[in-house]
Every structure is written in structure tokens, then in C-alpha cells.
Structure 1
Amino acid sequence: MYFGRIVMASSWTRGLCVAAALFAASDASAQNFPAHPITLIIPFAPGGSTSIVGRAIADKMSETLGEKVIVDNRPGAGGTVGTRAVAKSAPDGYTIGLGYTGTLAIGPTLYAKAGYDPRKDFAPIGMIGHSPNSLVVHPSFPAKTVAELIAYAKANAGKVNFGSAGAGTASHITGEYFAKVAGITLVHVPYKGTGPALVDLIGGHIPMAFAPVPATHANIVGGQLRGIAVTSLMRTSLLPDVPTVAESGLQGFDASLAYGLVAPVGTPRPIIDRLNGELRKALESDDVRKRLQQDGTDPAPGSPEDYAAFIDKDETKWAQIVKSSGAKEE
């Protein structure tokens, strides 16, 4: 009996030693982090809101971290391809991802094989900010208001196309949500990112699109696009003359977007804390705040726990919208 206690104590002691060694190694790794460039995977093509927001953060964090944060655009399947790549990366802090409403809150419900769980497969780093979507049309499109658009779509049932950043993205589901609430039929035309969709819209190949304000603002101001409405409950200061969908007759309509940074689950907490600290510094800097606000994104710095709670709440909300809209994987 006495011998057994000695063996058990010895085993317990070795366990403590191993745990201590692992903690020390993790702590040392965090203290030396980063030792080489970090890759930020943005799961959409260049030119969209995720790239605008992600590059602003990457540029500033490159300065404060002392190592380059390299942007890697990996579009496909509504952003799930790039997001899945983040989830399956080594949990060492050197591969992180731009979290987004379309990928963390919509994709898991819309796609049967998204390949990741937004609550279990990521270590949230922190929130970046919020932005409304916008409903934009080509200047030649006859409708100038939400009411006129609804009337036109009813008179031309099944003949009005709308572009999005891809099947399953926030812009896609927002369009389906809008059509359902308005009682109209719209034909979805998916692209591999907001940028390509807006190029076709400006070129007159499609009549309308739902796209984030950061990506449409300059073209609305320049007259290449007409802003019909924004999808948040409040107007954006960037486009003060563009009404919300809610105030245009569809009461309670709200389809705002959110951006943040995530790492693969298992990334050591000291590294997460370091990245969160640098992200918050970036969001507190005047140049980044100005850069984001000029593109319609309101900074919302917070802790990893704050972002984890938001992801949980946002996924619950959008899962219900996906189901009620009747949207299907394309």
C-alpha cells in the first residue's frame, strides 16, 4: 500500500513537471512571438469589405508587432474555403483569419459541409468592428427607392437579378432575407467576392447588389452606383442621405455585418493575448480609426471573451434568418 502511494505520488509529480514544462515552453514561445511573418487569411477575393478592413488592420499590426502581417486572399464557397484553412492551420499564432458574419454566422447553417464549427474550431482574438450592408443599383435601373424596387420586382417577377459576394455570404442571405420580407422574387447571381460583383454591377451586367458599405461608398459618392438603402437599423454617417431598409417600409429589417480576428483553436493564450493587445492598439490609433470610419466600419475593440460571446449570439441570429429565408446552398 505504501509502495503504491509512492508510485502514485511519483506519477503525479512527473505530470506536474510535464505540465510546468509545457507552460514554460508556451510562455517562452509567446515571449518570442512573433519570430517570423504572420499570415492573415481573408476568405474572399480582393476588393471587398473584408479586404478593406483586413488590410487596414494588417498594415498597422505589422508596424507594432515588428513582423509583417501578410494578407492571403483565399475565396471560395461563400468564404468557407479560406475560413476552413484557418481552422485547420497549426495553432501557433502564425496563421490567423478575418472572421466575418458570412463565414462565422451564416456559412455553418447554409453549407452542409462547411468544415468547421464557429464555436469549437477557433480561438477568438478580438472584434474589429461593425458595418451595414448597402442595397445598390446601376444608375440606369428605374427604381430609386425601396418601394419603387419592390413594385418593379413584382411587375417583373423572376426577372430581377442581384449580385453578391458568393453563395452563403452575408450579402447573399441579406438579399434572400430582403426578398422574403418584401414579398418579391429576386434571382441570385453569386460571385467570388464583393469586388467582382461590383465590377459587373458598374458595368451594367447586373442591375443590383447587396454589398458592404466599405466597398460601395466611393462608387455611390462618385455616381457609378445609386444607393437605395442601408441594411442596419440606423443610417450610417458615411452615407447620411441613404435611408435604412427599415425606415423605407420594411420595419425591423436589420442585417448588419461584423468583422474580427480569429486563430485556430489550441493557440496558446499568451499568443492570443498578444495579438488581441496589438489589435486593440491598431483600433485605437487615429489613422486606422479614420481609415475604417471612412469606409463605413465602426471600430469595436474588446477582449477575446467579448468576441466569443458575439460569435455565439450572431450565429444564432443568422441561422434563424437563413432558415426562414429559404436560402439553399448553391
Structure 2
Amino acid sequence: MQETKRQALRQVLACGAVAVLGLGGLGGLAQAVAADGSYPAKPVTLIVPGPPGGITDQLGRLVANQMSTRYGIRVVVENRPGAGGNLATEVAARAEPDGYTLLLGTQGTMATNQYLYKGLRFDPARDFVPVHALMSSPNLLVVNRSAPFQSVKELVAYAKGHPGKLAVASAGNGTATHLAAELFQSEAGVKFVHVPYKGSAPAITDLLGGQVDLTFDYPASTLAQVQGGKLRALAVMGATRLPQLPQVPTIAEAGYPTAQSTAWIGLFFPARTPPAVVKLWEKNVAAMLHEPVSVQALERIGGMPLRLDSAQFGAYVQSERVRWKGTIERSGATVD
């Protein structure tokens, strides 16, 4: 059985090598995907655009563990936090496209940062090839438990009756929590006072203390407080209800289907990485996302498997670029 698998892998890699050679001038890269099935000959570096312990780090280490234990690919996680993920993304964009450098790409690094930061030294569409999506996590519209509204409808009515009174917290200018708030305001026809923080933790602390009125943060940051009755969730900003909060309606159910906001994370190789390597990873990640241990790990950090292959994920990321570009331009959001 093992020999059969090795033979099949050799055939796939050989086909990929031929395809790369056919592109012209890439013969050296094709050699990186040896037809004898020797890939990977060394550990693969997975660049993570966040600090140890964060959601991206936890997800990166899940990938590393699963690839190593189940698929025989050794993966080393390299944390490169800073500049909204741009530092990590630039390093990955400049890496040799030989199949040994992989990027954990986010909604920010792959879809929105190009419209928020000036002078980026990489192009997410040109410099990367999508491998497979990993996880999605919807924003939650959460308010202080003493707020005088029990539903999205009541929130909108209050905001229209008290313009400029409600303060919305975010994890910082240009973050997904900020953009979700801007999108909702645009679609609902209301205006909040934006209060940016340096991360979700201080924003949630002030929401609990009543210094701000609401936020559009993620389950990883808010679920425990909602379940403990310290905060009130008015809507899930994704397409479906959260299993952990079955009583909380989606934003579409609340009357604003175009205000959906869901963060996502996936894997990307530098452009011109041999197609056979991309295909191998695509296949393994697809299998990983059906493993119960992976699904449970994603649920623990407030996410759900996002089962989109390379082509599907590429189309989805492009649609997200178009969508968020409009929101950012209308809101005037910027980081620089």
C-alpha cells in the first residue's frame, strides 16, 4: 500500500514538473519537485503574520502538526507579526518559489491591506498563488448588557434617534472589526463614533466597563463573555448561525443581508511555485479539514472549516478584494 502511494505521488510530481518546464525558463524550479517523489526534502517554513498565541499562530500550529503527523511533511512555524500582517506577507512574496515557503494569508493581508496602506512592496494577486482556504470566522455584533436595545432593529432605531451618541469599539484602524462596523453603518444608514484600540482585548475590556457601546469582534474574543451573560450578542455577521449561540440570528435574518462580514484565513505559496507542490498541499489540506481533530480545533478558536480548493479560494479572495475596496473607499478608512 505504501509503495502504491509513493508511485502515485511520483506520477503527480512528474506531471507537475513537466507543466512547469513547459512555462519556459523555470526548469530549475521544476527540479525542486523531483519526479522521484523526494519532495519535501527538508522542512517547509510556514510564515504566520501574528504573534505566538494568537488565532493565526494557533491555526498555523494546527496545520504544522497535522501535516507532520498525518501527511509526513515537516512544517516549521515562523511568526512575523507587525504592520497588519504586511511584514510577513512581504517576506513570503520575496521567498524562493521552490515549495519550501508557505504563507498563512488573512483577509487583511490578501484582500484589504492594499487599500489601507500606501506603498506596499508586494501585490497579493500577482505575487501569490492560493493553495486552499482553512477557516472562516464571522464577526459578532455585541453590545454592553445594559444597552437599551435587545435586537438589531432596536439598535438601528436608537442610533437614528440619537445620532453620534453610540461608540463602536474596534481592534484598530483598518482592522476587520473596524471594516465590519463601517459596512454595517453603510448598509443600515446609521453613524457611530469609532473608537479604535490596540487590539481586541482592551476594546472588550472597555465594552464590558461601559466606556463604549458595541463592537463587531470575533467569537474568539467575545464568546465567553456572551455565554456568561456579561455581553449581549445581537447578530452573527456570517451566513449561518453559530452552533455555540443558536439563539442569535444572522445579520440577514435581522434584515441586513448585505452587511455580512466574515474573516477568513488560508494558505498561499509565492507565485511560480511548481504546480505539483501546490496540488499536493491542496489535496492534503482538503483532507485535513475533514479530520474531526481539525474541526474541533477550529471550533475552539471560534472558527469553522472553509473548504475551498485552490481555484475556488482564488475566486473568493478576488471577490473579497472588490467588495472591501468599495467599503474602504466609502468610509475613508486608512492606516497610513
Q: TM-score, normalised by structure 1?
A: 0.80
2:284 is the alignment partner of 1:278 = yes
Deviations 1:284-312 (A, max 9, x none): 21110122245443323343222222222
Counterpart amino acid of 2:103? G
Deviation of 1:157 after TM superposition, in Å, equals 3.3
Deviation of 1:133 after TM superposition, in Å, equals 1.1
Question: Pairwise mapping of residues 1-330 of structure 1 onto structure 2 (< 5 A)?
Answer: 22=28, 25-28=31-34, 31-33=38-40, 35-36=42-43, 38-41=45-48, 43-45=49-51, 49-64=55-70, 65-70=72-77, 72-76=79-83, 78-202=84-208, 204-329=210-335
Whichever of the two has the greater Rg, that structure is: 1
Q: Secondary structure at the match of 2:145?
A: coil
**Structure 2: how far apart are the matches of 1:20 and 1:211?**
44
Deviations 1:253-287 (A, max 9, x none): 32223221112223233332333233223212111
Describe the shift of the 1:20–1:81 C-alpha distance in structure 2 as closer, same or farther (beyond 3 A).
closer
**Structure 2: how far apart are the matches of 1:192 and 1:44?**
14
**Structure 2: how far apart are the matches of 1:250 and 1:138?**
21
Deviation of 1:243 after TM superposition, in Å, equals 1.5
Deviation of 1:120 after TM superposition, in Å, equals 0.5
Counterpart amino acid of 1:161? A
Q: Does the aligned pair in 1 maintain the 2:238–2:261 contact within 8 Å? A: yes
Moved more, 31-40 or 119-128: 31-40
Identical columns (%): 34
Moved more, 210-219 or 147-156: 147-156
Q: Does the aligned pair in 2 maintain the 1:91–1:268 contact within 8 Å? A: yes
Q: Does the aligned pair in 2 maintain the 1:48–1:193 contact within 8 Å? A: no
Q: Does the aligned pair in 2 maintain the 1:127–1:260 contact within 8 Å? A: yes
Describe the shift of the 1:253–1:103 C-alpha distance in structure 2 as closer, same or farther (beyond 3 A).
same
Q: How many residues were matched structurally?
A: 313
Counterpart amino acid of 1:287? V
Q: Which runs of no fewer than 5 residues in structure 2 stay unpaired? A: 1-20
Moved more, 250-259 or 26-35: 26-35
Q: Secondary structure at the match of 2:164?
A: coil
Q: Secondary structure at the match of 2:253?
A: helix
Q: Which runs of no fewer than 5 residues in structure 1 stay unpaired? A: 1-14
Describe the shift of the 1:107–1:148 C-alpha distance in structure 2 as closer, same or farther (beyond 3 A).
same
Describe the shift of the 1:94–1:139 C-alpha distance in structure 2 as closer, same or farther (beyond 3 A).
farther
Please, what is the CA RMSD of the aligned residues?
A: 3.1
**Structure 2: how far apart are the matches of 1:60 and 1:160?**
44
Q: Does the aligned pair in 2 maintain the 1:171–1:211 contact within 8 Å? A: yes
Counterpart amino acid of 1:39? L
Describe the shift of the 1:50–1:135 C-alpha distance in structure 2 as closer, same or farther (beyond 3 A).
farther
Counterpart amino acid of 1:97? L
**Structure 1: how far apart are the matches of 2:210 and 2:78?**
30
